[in-house]
């Protein structure tokens, strides 16, 4: 894909994610179900944090494209490294995990992750923007250009650290409010919840490996952006 085309795509993707993140964080306070938006507000939900992550990623990608267009290659090289690290370690596995886990649990029992009371607050298009469109965007990014993945051990350690931070945030919210971020967690005993978190980390690690596999299958070992 031509650099100018990439720049246009990344700019539009950034604007889209910024708009979606803005929309969900500006739901009118009086319309929010009190049992959903307790301590931590929207910032306790992985879905909302992922929207911010994607906006940052596409903003960095757009900046890298612009620097390449104006021939600032030395600066571009550093930004491209950051872009690839963001995509490989966070943007792809997290967005894929959000889509797959949400719709799997929603199909099983929506009240565990997305109570029916939210239907009157969050429009259908915004629900799909947060939970569905994130996967096609992630896949399109892999097909659009190659990304340099870090050494696998480093990549998994970074991803695991971020997962640990989010789980710690979830547990902290429970310790303060006595309420779980997602009703699903209340169904588990402490050992069961630990097993659930461990299984979720295993899945997101598998998604990291899947992204690396797709990148390698499409672009080969040696063709990387520069």
The pLDDT tens digits of the residues spanning 177-192 come to: 888 999 899 999 999 9
Residue 76 lies in a domain: yes
33 lies in some domain: no
| 37 pLDDT tier (thresholds 50, 70, 90) | low
**Distances 214 to 36, 51, 147, 148, 219 between C-alpha atoms, Å:** 37, 23, 11, 12, 8
Site of tokens 């699903």: 184
Q: Which of 2-6, 34-38, 59-63, 216-220 has the lowest mean pLDDT?
A: 34-38
Task: Give the closest residue to 46 by CA, choosing from 203, 169, 202.
Answer: 169
Residue 184, domain member (yes or no): yes
pLDDT tens-digit readout, 135-169: 999 999 999 999 999 999 999 999 999 999 999 99
Query: Which domain covers residue 54, as residue numbers?
Result: 3-28+38-219
Q: How many independent structural domains does the chain possess?
A: 1
224 in a domain, yes or no? no
Which pLDDT score, from 0 to 100, does residue 38 have?
60
Give the 3-state DSSP-derived string for the chain, with helices as H, strands as E and coil as C.
Answer: CCHHHHHHHHHHHHHHHHHHHHHHHCCCHHHCCCCCCCCCHHHHCHHHHHHHHHHHHHHHHHHHHHHHHCCCHHHHHHHHHHHHHHHHHHHHHHHHHHHHHHHHHHHHHHHHCCCHHHHHCCCHHHHHHHHCCHHHHHHHHHHHCCCCCCCHHHHHHHHHHHHHHHHHHHHHHHHHHCCCCCHHHHHCCHHHHHHHHHHHHHHHHHHHHHHHHHHHHHHCCCCCCC
* Chain Cα centroid distance, residue 55: 10
What pLDDT, on a 0 to 100 scale, did the predictor assign at position 225? Answer: 40
Please give the model's pTM, rounded to 2 decimal places: 0.91
Q: Return the structure tokens found at 38.
A: 């307790």
107 domain-assigned: yes
**Is 226 a domain residue?**
no
> Average pLDDT in the 14-40 region?
74
| Percent residues over pLDDT 70 in the chain | 92
């Amino acid at each position: 894909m031509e650099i100018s085309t990439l720049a246009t795509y990344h700019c539009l993707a950034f604007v889209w994610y910024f708009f979606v993140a803005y929309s969900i964080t500006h739901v009118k306070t009086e319309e929010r179900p009190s049992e959903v938006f307790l301590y931590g507000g929207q910032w306790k939900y992985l879905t909302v944090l992922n929207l911010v992550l994607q906006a940052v990623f596409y903003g960095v990608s757009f900046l890298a494209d612009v620097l390449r267009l104006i021939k600032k290659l030395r600066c571009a090289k550093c930004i491209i490294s950051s872009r690839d690290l963001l995509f490989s370690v966070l943007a792809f596995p997290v967005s894929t995990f959000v889509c797959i886990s949400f719709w799997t649990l929603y199909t099983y029992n929506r009240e565990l992750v997305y109570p029916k009371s939210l239907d009157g607050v969050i429009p259908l298009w915004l629900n799909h923007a947060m939970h569905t469109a994130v996967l096609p965007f992630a896949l399109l990014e892999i097909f659009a250009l190659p990304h340099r993945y870090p050494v696998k051990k480093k990549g998994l350690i970074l991803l695991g650290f971020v997962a640990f931070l989010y789980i710690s945030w979830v547990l902290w919210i429970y310790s303060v409010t006595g309420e779980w971020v997602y009703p699903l967690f209340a169904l588990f005993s402490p050992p069961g919840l630990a097993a659930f978190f461990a299984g979720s980390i295993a899945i997101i690690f598998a998604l990291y490996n899947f992204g690396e596999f797709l990148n390698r299958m499409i672009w080969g070992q040696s063709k990387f952006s520069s």
